[in-house]
Amino acid sequence: MANLLSGLLVCLMTLQSAGNSTTIKTTPPPGVIPKSFKGKLYKSNRTNLTATWLHSNNKTWLYVSPQDPATAYTTSTLSTWIIPSSYILAMLVGVPSNAYILAFLRVRLRAKSLSALALYLSLALSDLLLLLSLALRVHYHINGNNWIFGEIACRILTALFYGNVYCSAHTIACISLKRYLAVVKPFLYRRLHKTTLALWTCLSVWLLFGAAVIPELLVRQSYQVSQLGITTCHDVLPLEEKSHAILLPLRLMLVCLGFIVPFLICICTHLAVVRHLGRSGCDWRPFVRASTLVFFIFMVCFSPSGILHIVHHIRLITSGDDRLYGYYRAAVCLCCFHSCLDPFLCMLISKVASSELQFISHRGTPQRPDIMM
């Protein structure tokens, strides 16, 4: 599995690199300073630009150099075929499976664990919203990265995508933390008001990232790229504009909060659970293997996009270099695949845990563990 996912990412990055050689022969208007993914902002009422570079009298547009990564990315096979094909595959698998898990959990867990119900329903809902938001992205990429649905739809789609990615990552971290408490701290775990705590945790995660993506709803996200004849959505932005420049450090903090924090929680809790079960008197190897598989898939799916996003923003802030953005967009496909795998991983952990022996507590008293969480 790891080799397959790694090979996919390498292929995507190779295609993106190959696209860098793609150029479009055109001559920029006088006085234009070429930019890459940042773009250079122009208004149609500028009198020093020739009429052939203008779309209308009331639209804002950008200029990017034919040699810039933005040109190569928007015209490459990666962005117009590979990425939308990956999104379609993720939707075909993930939408029905997450819709099923919403109904399955409501019946299966209602009488067993309301805290488990809340966390897994929150995960399935965020994954489902993320996958459904890909439909317009598929049309956008297949249409040559030309956005036709308007500025408001572009803002909502951008906020919905990032918000649900981070919600999914943090919900998985909460599930890992709950499993850690059930296994390593069973006495503390039994004293907790688990249902109330789980409901407040889910609500807090949704409110936190709902508020965190509000800035994306307040700034313009779609711009016309004149020499390419397309309107991009979030891909090419005029970062010399104050609103976008202010958002850069906010986006960097958001990706750190949305990726580094849940990633560290999952690492620490997984290692602690595996070590603790290894010291118990029962044979927990099937559950340990299943839990390790779930953790490994989480790491493989989220690590490339998280790391590339952080490095991309640091380079963009410090030197204006945004050549990594295309690689980041390719790595995001792995996050979408994780959203369609979550229902199967959830049922795998539940099945393995329910078939195991009773957990032996520190006092030697048999008890049924809640480790499916």
Instruction: Give per-residue burial for 150-160: e unless 16+ CB within 10 Å, then b.
Output: eeeebbbbbbb
pLDDT band at 65 (very low <50, low <70, confident <90, very high): low
The answer on pLDDT for 360 being more than 80 is: no
Pairwise pLDDT comparison (168 vs 9), residue with the higher score:
168
Helix count (H) and strand count (E) of the chain?
A: 14, 6
Output the pLDDT for position 34.
29
The rounded distance, in Å, linking the Cα atoms of 365 and 187 is 12
Output the pLDDT for position 148.
93
Q: For residue 121, what is the enclosing H or E element?
A: helix 114-132
Q: Quote the radius of gyration of the chain (alpha carbons, Å).
A: 23
Q: Using an 8 Å Cβ cutoff, are 92 and 49 in contact? A: no
The rounded distance, in Å, linking the Cα atoms of 311 and 255 is 11
E-assigned strands of 2-103?
40-43, 60-63
- Across residues 159-187, what is the average pLDDT? 90
Residue with tokens 């992205």: 137
Extract the tokens encoding 79.
Answer: 């962005």
Q: For residue 259, what is the enclosing H or E element?
A: none
- Across residues 50-64, what is the average pLDDT? 41
pLDDT digits (tens, 9 = 90+) for 28-48: 333 332 233 444 544 443 333
Q: Cβ-count burial of 184 within 10 angstroms (0-12 exposed, 13-18 middle, 19+ buried)?
A: middle
Residue with tokens 């479009």: 24
Output the pLDDT for position 267.
92
Extract the tokens encoding 305.
Answer: 């996009």
Q: Which sign does the torsion angle of CA 141, 146, 148, 151 carry?
A: positive
pLDDT digits (tens, 9 = 90+) for 261-280: 999 999 999 999 888 887 77
Query: Please, what CATH class does the domain formed by 2-367 belong to?
Result: mainly alpha
For the entire predicted model, the pTM comes to: 0.76
pLDDT digits (tens, 9 = 90+) for 274-300: 888 877 767 677 778 888 888 888 899
What DSSP string runs through 139-154?
HHHHTTS---S-HHHH
Instruction: Assign residue 198 a region (left: φ > 0; alpha: ψ between -120 and 50; beta: otherwise).
Output: alpha
SS3 260: helix
The rounded distance, in Å, linking the Cα atoms of 39 and 68 is 10
The answer on pLDDT for 62 being more than 80 is: no
SS3 37: coil
**Cβ partners under 8 Å of residue 181, min gap 6:** 188, 189, 192
β-strands 222-225, 60-63: how paired?
A: parallel
Q: What are phi and psi of 360, to 5 degrees?
A: -95, 115
pLDDT band at 351 (very low <50, low <70, confident <90, very high): low
β-strands 359-360, 60-63: how paired?
A: unpaired
